[in-house]
Structure 1
Amino acid sequence: MARKRSELKIGVISLGCSKNLVDTEILLGKLKSAGAKLVDDPKKANTIIINTCGFINPAKEEAIDYILEYAENKKVIVMGCLVERYKEELQKEIPEVQAYFGTESWDQILEFLGLKKVEKVQRILTTPKSYAYLKISEGCNRLCSFCAIPSIRGKYRSKSIQELVEEAKWIAENGVKELCLISQDTTYYGRDLYGKNALLKLLEKLEDIEGIEWVRLLYFYPTDVSDELIDYIKNSSKVLPYFDIPLQHVSNRVLKSMRRGYGKDFVEGLVERIFSKIPNAVLRTSFIVGYPEEDTKDFEELIEFVQKGYFHWVGVFSYSHEDGTFAESLGDPIPDEEKERRRALIYEVQSEIIKEKYRGLLGKSFRMLVDGYDEEMNIVPVGRLWFQAPEVDGLCYLEAERLVKEGEMVDVVVKDFKELDLLVEEKSG
C-alpha cells in the first residue's frame, strides 16, 4: 500500500556527476510540488531516494555502500544509472530496497509514493547562488570502446533552444551568475533536432539573458572543437575561454583501440589552434591510464605530453572494466596497483605544472565569484576565478574586511596558493 502523503518525509541522496545532480534537482521539484516534505538530513527521513551513478567501478561501489547503509532501517528507493545497468542483479542481491527505477523516472517514483504528477514544475537548485548547471541534452552517440554511457543513457537527445533559454532565464531570476552547460557531449548539441550543430545559436541566446555573467562550457569532444567555436569564445563577453576537452590518451595505438576517431597529431594541432587564437585560454582534460592495450611506451608518451604544460587541470582515471563495452573483450590485464602507480605519476607531474602557473598569477587582479563560506569554520569567504570550474578546479579563499554575499562578484588580487587553492584579497579602491 502506498504511504500517505502526510507521512512522507523524504531525504534524497545524489551521487555521481553534475548531470545526475540536475536529475536529482528535477526530482526534488516534483516531490515538493506534489506535497512531499523534503528533509536535508537523511536520518530524519522515513523514505530515502538514492540517485546512483553506475559509470565506473568506484562509483558503483559508492552507490552500493549508500544503499546498504540505509536499506536496513529506512524505506529506500533507488534510481539512476546503476539501476539502468543492473536492475535484476540489484533486486536479487538487495531485496530490502522498496523499488528500483532507471534514469528520468521521476513521475514513476511519484506514482509509487502515491503522489500526483504535477505538470510544469521547476527543479529545486541545490548549488550555491553563484552557479547552476544547464543540461542541454541527454545520451550520447559516440562509440568509445571503454564507455557504457550510450547503453545506460541512450542516444543523443538535445533539448530545444527555446526550452533551454526559458530554463536559463528562470535560473538567472534566482540570482545565479554563472551558467555551466553540461551534457555527455556538448559540442554535438542540436544535430538530432536541427540537422546541424546548433551550439553557437544556443550561446547567442544565452548571452542575451540579463543577470548571467559567466557561461562555462563543459565536456567538448575533441573532433568537434571547430575554428568557428573557438572564434566565438574568443569574441564573447560572457562565454569563458575555458576548454574542457577529455582527450583520454595521446598514444595513436591506444586512441585507435579506444575508438576515439583522432590521433596524437590531431591533439597537438587542436591545442595549437586554441592557443594561437586565444593565448590566455585555460584547458582541462582527462586521461585514462591502465587501458588494456596501454604498454609502458604508451604511458611514457602520455607523461611526456602532460609535461609540456598545456593544461591547468587534468583528471586521471584508472581504467574501469565495464560490462557490455567493446573494451570488455580485451580483458583487464594491468594490475590495479600498476594503474594506481601510473595515475599517481601523472598527478605528480601536473602538480608541479599548476604550481608554476599559479606562481605566474601572484600579484595579478581578477574578478572572483563568491560561492559561500568555507565548510569548516563558515567564516572565510570562498569562491572561484573564471578559470576554476565548480567542484573540480580548486577554490579561492578571500581576505576581506567586510561581509560578502553568495553570488557576489569581487575584485581581488592573488596573494598566495596552496596546492589547487588560491589565497586572494579584495582589491582596494
Structure 2
Amino acid sequence: MRKNKVDIITLGCSKNLVDSEQLMRQFQANGYTVKHDPEKVNGEIVVVNTCGFIGDAQEESINMILELEEAKKKGRIGQLIVMGCLSERFLKDLKKELTGVDRFYGKFNWKELMKDLGKSYYSDLSFDRLLSTPRHYAYVKIAEGCNRTCSYCSIPLITGQYQSKPIEEIEQEVRLLAIKGVKEFQMIAQDLTYYGLDIYKRLALPELMERLSAIPGVEWLRLHYAYPAHFPYDLLHVMREHANICSYLDIALQHISDPMLKRMRRNITKSETYELIKRIRREVPGIHLRTTLMVGHPGETDQDFDELVQFVKEMRFERMGAFAYSHEADTYSFRHYEDTIPMEVKQERLDYLMQIQENISGELNEKKVGHTFKTIIDREEEDFYIGRTEFDSPEVDPEILVSKEKPLKIGYFYPVSIQEAEAFDLYGKVQPPIETVR
C-alpha cells in the first residue's frame, strides 16, 4: 500500500468518467498522488465509480468491489470507497452485503467525500479536471438526468429529472480545456437533444453548439446520445455551417417496428424514424450516424425482428451497436411485461444483426480507400500510429492505422490517405505536405 496515493477506478460510461476526473482534481489539490485505472491498485485510498445500468454492468461493479475488499483484507490497499450509479440505486443492499467498504456515495453526493476525509473541497476548481483521456480530447457533460420514460431504462431511476448546465458554465469549461491544449470535445448527456428545455424553456442545443464552435482552439465538437423524438432540426443547419462541428451524430433508435416502439415508449413511429434519418442525411451531407438497437424486448416477435433487420439493411448505418434486453428491476417493462424471450433467442438475434452490420461497415469503409481525411493521432503502437477522423469517436468507432513512414506527433492533425480497409479498421499513410499538421 502506497501512502498519500489515491487510485480511482471508473466503470460504465463517459458521464461517470467526467465525475471521476473532477474528483481526481480535488484529490490532487489536497496533495495526493492520483492514478486512474492503474495497472497495480495499491492506493491508501481506492475509489470505485460504479455503473448500475444493466445486469452485466452491475455484476462487473460488484466483482470489482469484491476483488478490492480482498485486497484490503491483505493490506494491499487502504480505505475502499464506492460511488456512482450502482450505489445511488442500491445503497441499502450494498451496505448490507459489502461490509468491507468504508464509505458509500451515490451519483451526486460524491463531493461530500472530501469533507468526510477531513479534506477541502475547492469550489473554485468545479470546472477543472484531471483528464484521464489523452490530453488532446475530453468529454464534456452538458446535463444530468433524463425526462424520457422508455420502458426498459433504469437511468431516470438513478439520475432523476433532467438538469441542464447553463450555457455559460459549459463555455467556461470548454475554454479552460482548450487553453490546456484539448482540441476535440465529445459532448455528452443522457439525452443531448432535450438540452435547455428545463432551464430555458426551449431546445437550446443548436445555440450551445454555435457558441462553443466560436471558442478559439476548438477543432472538433462531436455529439453523443441524441434522442429521436422531437428532434431539434435547427441543429442540422448549425452542424452544416460550422466546420469544427463533426459530421457525426450518435442517436439511439432502439427499434423500428411500430408495435415495439410503442411497447418501448419511444414516442416516435416507424415512418417518423425513416423521415428523421433521411432528413439528417439530406441536410448534413456525408454525416456518419451511430445508433444503438435493442433485441429481445418483451413482446418482440419474429416479424418485429425481421423489420429491424430490413431497417438495418436499408439505412446502412456507418456505426451501429446492439444489445440484448435486460429485465431491470423497477422499470416500466419490469412492472408491466414478462421477460419471456429466451436468452439464446436474444443472442441469436443480436449475433445476426451484428453480422449484417459488419458487412455494411466493411463495404462503407471500402469506399474510403483512395480518399484523404483530416486525422488526429491518438497514440503510437509498435507498428503503427493510431488515428481517427471526424467520423470516429474514441473507444467505440473504427481507427486508422497510420504507417510509420514519417514521425508524427500525438494529438496533432495530419492529412491521411486511406490505402486499405477492413470492417472495423482502416489503413493509411500521411500525405504531403506534412506542414499541414496542427
TM-score, length basis structure 1: 0.95
Provide the alpha-carbon RMSD of the alignment: 1.4
1 CA distance for matches of 2:57 and 2:427?
A: 32
- Residues 301-321 of structure 1 show CA distances to partners (whole Å, capped at 9, x for unaligned) of 101110114301111011011
2 CA distance for matches of 1:28 and 1:403?
A: 33
- Say which of 228, 232, 247 aligns to 1:241: 247
Unaligned runs of 5+ in 1: 1-5
Alpha-carbon shift at residue 286 of structure 1 (Å): 0.4
- Say which of 174, 177, 182 aligns to 1:176: 182
Does the aligned pair in 1 maintain the 2:365–2:422 contact within 8 Å? no
Partner AA of 2:371 in structure 1? K
Partner AA of 1:355 in structure 2? G
Does the aligned pair in 2 maintain the 1:217–1:244 contact within 8 Å? yes
**Partner residue of 1:95?**
99
**Partner residue of 1:396?**
400
TM-score, length basis structure 2: 0.93
**Partner residue of 1:82?**
86
**Partner residue of 2:363?**
356
**Partner residue of 1:229?**
235
- Say which of 116, 126, 129 aligns to 1:112: 116
Does the aligned pair in 1 maintain the 2:3–2:43 contact within 8 Å? no
Check if 1:153 corresponds to 2:149. no
36-45 or 219-228, larger mean C-alpha shift: 36-45
- Give the alignment of 1:244-283 within 5 angstroms: 244-283=250-289
Alpha-carbon shift at residue 42 of structure 1 (Å): 4.2
**Partner residue of 2:350?**
343
- Say which of 305, 317, 321 aligns to 2:323: 317
**Partner residue of 2:377?**
370
- Residues 133-192 of structure 1 show CA distances to partners (whole Å, capped at 9, x for unaligned) of 110000011111111111100111011111100100111112111111100110111111
Does the aligned pair in 2 maintain the 1:129–1:371 contact within 8 Å? no
Check if 1:201 corresponds to 2:170. no
Partner AA of 1:350 in structure 2? Q
**Partner residue of 1:26?**
22
SS of 1:116 mapped into structure 2: coil
SS of 2:182 mapped into structure 1: coil
C-alpha change, 1:199 and 1:309, in structure 2 (3 Å) is: closer
Tell me how many residue pairs correspond in the alignment: 421
Partner AA of 1:402 in structure 2? K
Alpha-carbon shift at residue 360 of structure 1 (Å): 0.6
SS of 1:368 mapped into structure 2: strand
Does the aligned pair in 2 maintain the 1:283–1:310 contact within 8 Å? no
Partner AA of 1:36 in structure 2? Y
- Say which of 28, 34, 38 aligns to 1:38: 34
Identical positions, percent: 39
- Give the alignment of 1:129-168 within 5 angstroms: 129-168=135-174
The 4+ residue runs of structure 1 with deviation greater than 6 A are none
Does the aligned pair in 2 maintain the 1:130–1:370 contact within 8 Å? no
Does the aligned pair in 2 maintain the 1:11–1:47 contact within 8 Å? yes
SS of 1:241 mapped into structure 2: strand
206-215 or 273-282, larger mean C-alpha shift: 273-282
Alpha-carbon shift at residue 362 of structure 1 (Å): 0.5
Alpha-carbon shift at residue 412 of structure 1 (Å): 0.7
Does the aligned pair in 2 maintain the 1:24–1:51 contact within 8 Å? yes
SS of 1:88 mapped into structure 2: helix
**Partner residue of 1:49?**
47
Partner AA of 1:371 in structure 2? D
**Partner residue of 1:3?**
none
C-alpha change, 1:73 and 1:227, in structure 2 (3 Å) is: closer
SS of 1:219 mapped into structure 2: strand
SS of 2:328 mapped into structure 1: coil
Unaligned runs of 5+ in 2: 73-78, 434-438
